[in-house]
Structure 1
Amino acid sequence: MEYTHLGRTGLTVSRLCLGTMNFGPHTEEADAHRVMDAAHEHGINFFDTANVYGRESDGSLKGRTEEFIGRWFAQGGGRRERTVLATKVYGAMGDWPNEGRLSALSIRKAVEASLRRLQTDHIDLYQMHHVDREAPWEEIWQAMEVLVAQGKILYVGSSNFAGWHIARAQEAARSRNFLGLVSEQSLYNLLDRAIELEVIPALEHYGLGLMPWSPLRSGLLGGILRKEREGTRVRGAMPHASEILALHRDRIQAYEDFADELGVDPADLGLAWLLSRPAVTAPIIGPRTAAHLDAAVAAVDIELDQKTLERLDEIFPGHRPAPEDYAW
Structure 2
Amino acid sequence: MKYALLGSTGIFVSRVSLGTMTFGGKGIQPWDRMGALDQKAADELVGIALDSGVNLFDTADIYAAGESEEILGKALGARRDDIVLATKAYAPMGSGPNDQGLTRLHLTRALDASLRRLGTDHIDLYQVHSFDPVTPLEETLGALDDAVRQGKIRYIGASNFAAWQLMKALGVSDLGSRTRFASLQAYYSLVGRDLEDELLPVVRDQGLGLLVWSPLAGGFLSGKYTREGSSDADARRLKGGLPPVDPERGHDIVDVLRTVAARHDAQVAATALAWVMAQRGVSSVIVGAKRPDQLRANLAAVDIELTERDLRELDAVSAPEPTYPSWIVGDPAARYPRG
TM-score normalised by structure 2 residue count: 0.88
The aligned amino acid for 2:92 is A
Mapped to 2, the partners of 1:242 and 1:129 lie a distance apart of: 19
Partner of 1:114: 114
Mapped to 2, the partners of 1:242 and 1:318 lie a distance apart of: 14
Mapped to 1, the partners of 2:310 and 2:231 lie a distance apart of: 29
Mapped to 2, the partners of 1:103 and 1:234 lie a distance apart of: 39
Determine if contact 2:203/2:209 at 8 Å carries over to the other structure.
Answer: yes
SS at match of 1:298: helix
Mapped to 2, the partners of 1:258 and 1:304 lie a distance apart of: 8
Distance 1:217 1:326, change over 3 A: farther
Q: Pick from 43, 66, 76: which aligns with 1:33? A: 43
- Aligned Cα RMSD in Å? 2.2
SS at match of 2:57: strand
Q: Pick from 72, 92, 96: which aligns with 1:69? A: 72
Determine if contact 1:193/1:319 at 8 Å carries over to the other structure.
Answer: no
How big is each residue's C-alpha offset from its partner over 1:266-315, in whole Å with a ceiling of 9 and x where there is no partner?
11111110111011000000011222111111110111111110100122
How big is each residue's C-alpha offset from its partner over 1:208-264, in whole Å with a ceiling of 9 and x where there is no partner?
111111101111111123697883353226616797435633332343244234432
The aligned amino acid for 2:63 is Y
The aligned amino acid for 1:213 is W
SS at match of 1:215: coil
Partner of 1:10: 10
The aligned amino acid for 2:22 is N
Where do 5+ consecutive residues of structure 2 fail to align? 25-31, 331-339
Mapped to 2, the partners of 1:221 and 1:313 lie a distance apart of: 15
Query: Kindly, what percent of the aligned residue pairs are identical?
Result: 37
Task: State which drifts further: 88-97 or 258-267.
Answer: 258-267
Determine if contact 1:148/1:154 at 8 Å carries over to the other structure.
Answer: yes
Mapped to 1, the partners of 2:311 and 2:259 lie a distance apart of: 15
Determine if contact 1:181/1:208 at 8 Å carries over to the other structure.
Answer: yes
1:307 and 2:303 matched: no
Where do 5+ consecutive residues of structure 1 fail to align? 55-61
Mapped to 2, the partners of 1:83 and 1:276 lie a distance apart of: 23
Distance 1:241 1:215, change over 3 A: closer
TM-score normalised by structure 1 residue count: 0.91
Determine if contact 1:227/1:233 at 8 Å carries over to the other structure.
Answer: no
Partner of 1:58: none
Partner of 2:273: 271
Distance 1:229 1:147, change over 3 A: closer
Mapped to 2, the partners of 1:118 and 1:10 lie a distance apart of: 25
Determine if contact 1:196/1:319 at 8 Å carries over to the other structure.
Answer: no
Q: Relative contact order, CA 8 A, sep 6+: which one is greater?
A: 1
Determine if contact 2:123/2:154 at 8 Å carries over to the other structure.
Answer: yes
Distance 1:177 1:202, change over 3 A: same
Mapped to 2, the partners of 1:242 and 1:233 lie a distance apart of: 20
1:248 and 2:250 matched: yes
The aligned amino acid for 1:68 is I
Mapped to 2, the partners of 1:241 and 1:147 lie a distance apart of: 32
The aligned amino acid for 1:282 is S
